[in-house]
Structure formats: C-alpha cells, structure tokens
C-alpha cells in the first residue's frame, strides 16, 4: 500500500478563476497547544485548508495543571475539546492521531494509524515533555505534570498518601512520616507553585477532613539544584518566593543535587530522605520533531530555526513553541511560556496568509516579553513586569487576572473564577477525588510493601 492509498483527502475543493482551477493552500498544523491554535485562528476566513493533528482531543491550559494535581480545579475547568474551539472555522479538519515521521522531501506527514497527510506548508507545535537528565527510570517514582493524565495521577498520589497516613495513624516512626512527606524536585515556576499548592492542600483543606493529620506532622520539601529559586526572575523575587514558601512551612533546599530516586525516597548528595510522594518539576525536553526532520537541535532537543521560525533550507516548514530554539534580538533564548508560543503562532499565521512557495524573504520574528510570574499560595505571588515588580496580595490578584485572561473560552474563565472565589472564601478544594486506582500505577499504594518495611498491614 502506498502513501497515496492512505492519504487523507483535502477538506475543500479547489476554487476557480478566469485562468482555471486554483488549488487552495494545504496547511498541516501538528499540535493544538497555544502556538498551534494561534496559527489556526489566525487563518480564519482565509482560503486555506487546514488540518490539525493532535494525539489528544482537547486543548489544555498547562499553566494551571498543578491546580488539578493539587485538587484546586477539575480537569474540565482547564481543558476544552479542540473541535469545539474550532467549530466556527469551516476550513479546518481535526485529526485525532499521533505523528511518527515527516518526509520533508515529498511533503508528507506520517501518522501512527498508518495514514498520511500531504502539505504545502507544515507547522510543528508539538510542545515538550519531562526530562530526567538521562535517568528516565526516575519517572516511575517521581511523575511530572504535562497532561491531564499526569495531573490526575499526581492528585491521586497526594490524596492517597494522606488517606494512608490517616489509616496508619497509630503507626510510629518512619511509616507515617513517609506518607506525610512530600518532595518536589525543581525550583522553577512549576516547582514553586506545586510546593505552595501542596502546602495549602495539606495544611488547610485537608485539616478539615482528616482527624489525625495536622500541619505539624506534614513535611514538604522543595529541592533545587542551583543557588536560588526562579532563576528566570530577578534575584529579589527569588528570595521573596523562598520567604513565602517558608511561611507556608515548606523546607527549601538549594544547591541540592538529586543523585537517586526510588520507590521510598530521594537521595540528595549523600543524604537520604524517605518519602512516599515525590514530584518532578526539574526539567523538560522537546518532542521528537527534531528527529522527524533530521534537524539540528540544542541540548533540550529543540529545533534550531531561522529568524522567521522556518527550518533551515525548508521555508515551507515552521517550528514554534517549546519545539523550537528561538532567540530574541539580544541573543537570549525565548522562554517556553504560553505568551511566547501564541506570539509565534500569530507570526506564522501572518506568514501563511502571504505564503509563496520557496519564498524566504520574510520579516524575522520579534518576541515581546510582557513579564514572568509565579504564585506561591493564598495572597502570595511574585511578578516581574520588567519596569515593576509585584509581590504579595497585589501580585496574587495580578496573577489570577492574567491566567483567567489566557484561558480559552468564556465558560472556562467563569468556572475557574468562581472556583477560585469559593476556595478563597472557604479554604475548600472541591476536586479531592481519587480516581483511576485500578490502573496498576498508584503510588504510594503500589509501593506499600516497600514503605511498610515488614510491618503488618491493618
């Protein structure tokens, strides 16, 4: 069977002119994250046929995934079906599948199902995944959060740990201490926000439901390999974040190099810390797009692109978002954040509206950095807008408003806003549901025998 036999047909027929049929531009967009959606929306109403390929059927607001993982929000609050988001664009066809290869010479994208897509222009916006720096086996014991499945798994892990601690309330020594020890590895925005959210969950909301769990018996440790938190922000904001975390009872360990992770704990240098719950927020690497293209990549696997976000020698292939290694005018790497991906997507949409085969003379992409921000907990956030720094309550309100603005759709903004208001007034976390416990991957339950260490189960 040939590629032509499996090829997905164009979604619209060619138009006509006085000179005869005019073939519409065929654009394939791989990935429906912030960058990919920005491309598609920027082509609304144009005589361009777009095929969107994603292995998930939903667009996800990743900056708030940690709130799903800590039971502050439900998955549906921060995700929406791709088809629903794009339902008013007649020139879009959505394909639920996964890309496994790209034939740049013949302009064909191969999918896991065996089907293929031909294109005139290709946009790769495939995002990033966890990086364990060559220690991939750690992922079994220290999950990170990049998808809804990741977030619900982490939520299950955290809530099960508290359930087991309540069950083993009469146990002495290491067993109960391990259930109530939570380790977060990585002092970037995700790690800081995760540690703060776990502190609020275990020290406030959980205290309302568990009779034998108090703030004194919960231990939360944030481990960062460098000498400061939030390296992308000014040093003063990193110190403020550390102070806010410590006020919540989080132990911040800087210059802590993790050398081993297993089912019952973490080794930092020569020190062993026993814990049932270990979460990873220390690093990411790009998708396999660089391998598909046979392109030059940086250490994180990001594809090195031209100033107009195209693959060198391939003006019809655009690479954006976390998949691309893009530098600003000062030679600094553009951060892998939602606003950057959206700006790149908007730029590519403009380029495609003026697209001509083999045309390279495009303006370079110019990134505008509007600020960096991280929240630590209730009334605690750090904001760097360049010309001004915000902290405390003012920073927290700014952070909340900014995240509501970037959510996709009025419904999501309304639901998240109302949920945050309810949580703020009542200290409740309404998404404390343990789900998926029959999938065979339930730490710390799956590691129970190792944690008990010979003690008899109740």
DSSP codes, 379-411? TEEEEE-SS-EEEHHHHHHHHHHHHHHHSSSHH
Phi, psi of 206 (to 5 degrees): -65, -30
Q: How far is CA 273 from the centre of its chain?
A: 27
The question of whether 98 is a catalytic residue gets the answer no
What is the DSSP-derived secondary structure letter of residue 321?
A: G
Number of other residues whose CB lies within 10 A of the CB of residue 366: 10
Q: How far is CA 37 from the centre of its chain?
A: 15
Question: What is the rounded CA–CA span in Å between residue 249 and residue 217?
Answer: 11
Instruction: Kindly give, in sequence order, each residue whose CB lies less than 8 Å from that of residue 78, ignoring residues fewer than 6 positions away.
Output: 60, 61, 64, 65, 67, 68, 407, 412, 416
Annotate 241-269 with three-state secondary structure: HHHHHHHCCEEEECCCCEEEEECCEEEEC
Instruction: Kindly give, in sequence order, each residue whose CB lies less than 8 Å from that of residue 3, ignoring residues fewer than 6 positions away.
Output: 106, 108, 110, 116, 118
Question: What is the rounded CA–CA span in Å between residue 275 and residue 264?
Answer: 6
Distances, alpha carbon 402 to alpha carbons 63, 119, 353, 407, in Å: 11, 36, 29, 9
Q: Are 141 and 262 in contact (CB under 8 A)?
A: yes
Which of 178, 193, 224, 306 is catalytic? The answer is 193
Phi, psi of 66 (to 5 degrees): -60, -25
The closest alpha carbon to 448, from 211, 160, 143, belongs to 160
Q: Are 340 and 367 in contact (CB under 8 A)?
A: yes
Question: What is the rounded CA–CA span in Å between residue 82 and residue 85?
Answer: 5
Pairing of strands 310-311, 116-118: unpaired
Instruction: Kindly give, in sequence order, each residue whose CB lies less than 8 Å from that of residue 131, ignoring residues fewer than 6 positions away.
Output: 282, 283, 284, 285, 300
Burial of 269-295, coded b for 16+ CB within 10 Å and e otherwise, reads eeeebebbbbbbbbbbbbbebbebbeb
Q: Which amino acids are annotated catalytic?
A: 193
């Amino acid at each position: 069977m040939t590629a032509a036999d499996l090829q997905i047909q164009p979604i619209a027929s060619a138009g006509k002119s006085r000179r005869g049929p005019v073939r519409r531009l065929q654009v394939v967009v791989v990935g429906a994250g912030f960058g990919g959606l920005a491309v598609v929306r920027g082509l609304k109403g144009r005589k361009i046929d777009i095929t969107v390929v994603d292995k998930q059927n939903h667009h996800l607001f990743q900056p708030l995934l940690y709130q799903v993982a800590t039971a502050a929000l439900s998955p549906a609050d921060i995700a929406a079906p791709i088809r629903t988001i794009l339902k008013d664009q007649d020139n879009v066809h959505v394909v639920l599948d996964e890309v496994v290869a790209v034939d740049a010479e013949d302009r064909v994208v191969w999918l896991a199902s065996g089907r293929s897509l031909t294109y005139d222009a290709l946009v790769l916006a495939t995002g990033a995944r966890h990086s364990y720096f060559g220690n991939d086996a750690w992922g079994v014991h220290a999950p990170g959060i990049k998808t809804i499945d990741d977030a619900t798994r982490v939520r299950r892990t955290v809530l099960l740990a508290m359930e087991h601690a309540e069950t083993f309330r009469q146990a002495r020594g290491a067993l109960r201490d391990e259930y109530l020890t939570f380790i977060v590895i990585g002092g970037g925005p995700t790690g800081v926000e995760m540690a703060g959210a776990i502190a609020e969950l275990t020290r406030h909301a959980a205290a309302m439901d568990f009779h034998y769990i108090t703030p004194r018996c919960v231990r939360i440790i944030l481990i960062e390999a460098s000498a400061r938190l939030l390296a992308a922000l000014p040093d003063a904001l990193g110190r403020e974040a550390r102070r806010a975390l410590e006020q919540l009872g989080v132990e911040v360990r800087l210059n802590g190099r993790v050398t081993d992770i297993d089912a019952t704990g973490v080794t930092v240098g020569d020190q062993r810390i026993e814990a049932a719950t270990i979460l990873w927020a220390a690093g990411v690497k790009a998708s396999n797009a660089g391998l598909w293209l046979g392109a030059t990549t940086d250490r994180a696997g990001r594809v090195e692109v031209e100033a107009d976000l195209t693959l060198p020698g391939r003006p019809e292939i655009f690479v954006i978002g976390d998949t691309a290694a893009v530098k600003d005018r000062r030679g600094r790497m553009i951060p892998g954040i939602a606003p950057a991906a959206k700006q790149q997507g908007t730029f590519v949409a403009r380029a495609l509206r003026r697209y001509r085969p083999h045309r390279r003379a495009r303006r370079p992409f110019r990134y505008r950095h509007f600020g960096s921000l991280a929240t630590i907990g209730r009334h605690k956030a750090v904001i760097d807008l360049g010309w001004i720094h915000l902290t405390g309550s003012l920073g927290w309100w700014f952070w909340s408003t900014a995240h509501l603005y970037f959510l996709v759709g009025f419904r999501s903004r309304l639901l998240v806003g109302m949920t945050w208001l309810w949580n703020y007034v009542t200290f409740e976390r309404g998404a404390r549901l343990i789900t998926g416990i029959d999938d065979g991957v339930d730490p710390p339950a799956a590691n129970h025998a190792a944690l008990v260490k010979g003690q008899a189960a109740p």
